[in-house]
Structure 1
């Protein structure tokens, strides 16, 4: 059992150096092997994997979400003479991101949809804001609608992806 633990630790150290894992984590795993706590070492390696892969927020995913939502808003804005098509573009962008992303990223997509919807509404009604329209309330309402639409789109995109990748047998 101790040989298997040392082997897993070596594998984790070898893969960790390529990914830029902190040296402190690998040193703690080595010290636990020296003590002989094989169960603790296995859980430490698994905890390091979940911290790295299961993070709740990713800046890279947020940038991709802004790109998807922004692209959907541009496509929605190309429809002439129909109001609020940019908001349907937020739904489309969230759907496409959910369809293409390998992980669930509701936080990033919701944030991108809310901010994009709010900013677009404020910029669209800029002359009315100078005349006395409350910009904070406008941003909050449009941001809330954008957040909900992006989350709904992401949910249905994830659902379709799950249905397409599930085994039928």
Structure 2
């Protein structure tokens, strides 16, 4: 009984983002609605910040979804809709920032950090001493080592 209840609860919660777009927001034309959903998936909810407005239940996300659908219904292109939203809310509203001069550090930082890591590893490997750098064994140590090795060989042959 409890397993079924947990399973039903899991199914309900796993579909939670699907309830973000309300039926009253959906456009009548399926092609325009598909465009609106694709654009909504690219825009960040300013309240939730790690969800798209398509997935968010926040009131601001709903307003943005309606704005996107209104602009599409008025005949704006996808780029014009995105530009309009960015002009009102800034670049942060984009889940995937544009590749521009001001975002060059954002896009280039992973590559720079990867190259710096590889260079640090190569430097560490090159500085590591190679071969034996300790002092050689004395005659007494050599004799003790030979005796220990011969005892080990005799024990293993038994």
**Structure with the larger helix share:** 1
- The TM-score normalised by the length of structure 2 is 0.26
Higher relative contact order (CA 8 A, sep 6+): 1
- The TM-score normalised by the length of structure 1 is 0.25
Q: Which has the larger radius of gyration?
A: 2
